[in-house]
Every structure is written in C-alpha cells, then in structure tokens.
Amino acid sequence: MDDLLGLLKVKVRRGINLAVRDAVTSDPYVVVSMGRQKLKTHVVNDNCNPEWNDEITLSVKDLSLPVKLTVYDKDMFSIDDKMGEAVVDIKDYVQCLRMGLENLPDGTVVHKSHPDRQNCLSEESAIVWNKGKITQDMFLRLRNVECGELEIGIEWVEVPGCKGLM
C-alpha cells in the first residue's frame, strides 16, 4: 500500500449512439482499465444508448498511466465483440488536484480541456471544484469503431495513510 497514491472514481454514465453488433442492436458493457487493473460495468441488453451509471474505483500507483475504456457487446455463444475504445489522460486533472484549491467557491472551473487529435474528447471538458472535490465530466468519442461516445466523470479520493499526490 506504500506506493498507492490514491483512488480514482470513474463514473461510467452512459453510451451514446453505440455501434450495432447483433442483428439490430447490442448488449454493451464497458471495461475500465488502468495498468493491470480491469473492472467492468454491468451489461445493458438490447440498447445502443445504454445508461449504466456504474461507479468504478481504480487504485492509482502511477500517474502516467491513462485510463482506458473499452466497450464490448456481450454475446451468449461467442467471444464478445469490441465496440470501440477511449483513453483518458489524467495529467491535467492531477495538476489541478495539486493546486490546493480549498478556498474556491463551488462550481469554479479550474481548467478546460479541448478536443484534439491526441485525446478522445468529443467536446470541451471542464475540471471543476465542487463540494470540496475536483471533478471532471467528459464526453469521449470512441476509437476504432464506426460510431459511439461515452459519457463519464472522474473524481479523486484521498486515502488516509497513502503517499498522496503532493
């Protein structure tokens, strides 16, 4: 536990216009990974616009590792089909965490990330100070697939007795 920096809560909210992988729809779920950790959401049957609202907590030991989200279509009798992936670099988010923003009013936008060729953002994403926490909500365009986006949010959780970010 001595190399643990903290926890990152990833809220996998919903998929938008996901690819069809079965006859007319898909049964999507998301695998969230960071380094060797892999956790997944529940499956939403027959829905290309699923709402998961699942919260996945990752143990962060290396801030240079991105968070990878891979969408799959659950198949009963064959290997699950891949429905695209997105990568989230948490470097900007971590920089904001290190700023020491305790005295800001709720709702203060600390940083804005813009879509570019290096990230999967489909629209501008704000890192916000709210209720004593720094959060970031984002819409991610899936790669290696014909269509689809994910809506997610991230939030840092300090762990008592951990090294922390400082």
Closest by alpha carbon to 12, among 30, 27, 25, 28?
30
The answer to whether residue 52 is domain-embedded is yes
Q: Give the chain's domain count.
A: 1
DSSP code of residue 37 = E
Domain that holds residue 11: 6-157
pLDDT at 166: 63
Going by pLDDT thresholds of 50, 70 and 90, the confidence category of residue 164 is confident
User: What's the pLDDT tens digit per position in 9-34?
Assistant: 999 999 999 999 988 999 999 999 99
Within-domain flag for 120? yes
* pTM, full prediction: 0.94
Structural domain includes residue 162: no
Query: Is residue 152 classed as helix, strand or coil in its secondary structure?
Result: strand
Look over the chain and give the mean of its residue pLDDT values, rounded to a whole number: 93
Q: Is 86 a member of any domain?
A: yes
Answer whether 18's CB lies under 8 Å from 28's CB.
yes
Strand duo 125-130 + 108-113: pairing: antiparallel
CATH of the domain at 72: 2.60.40.150
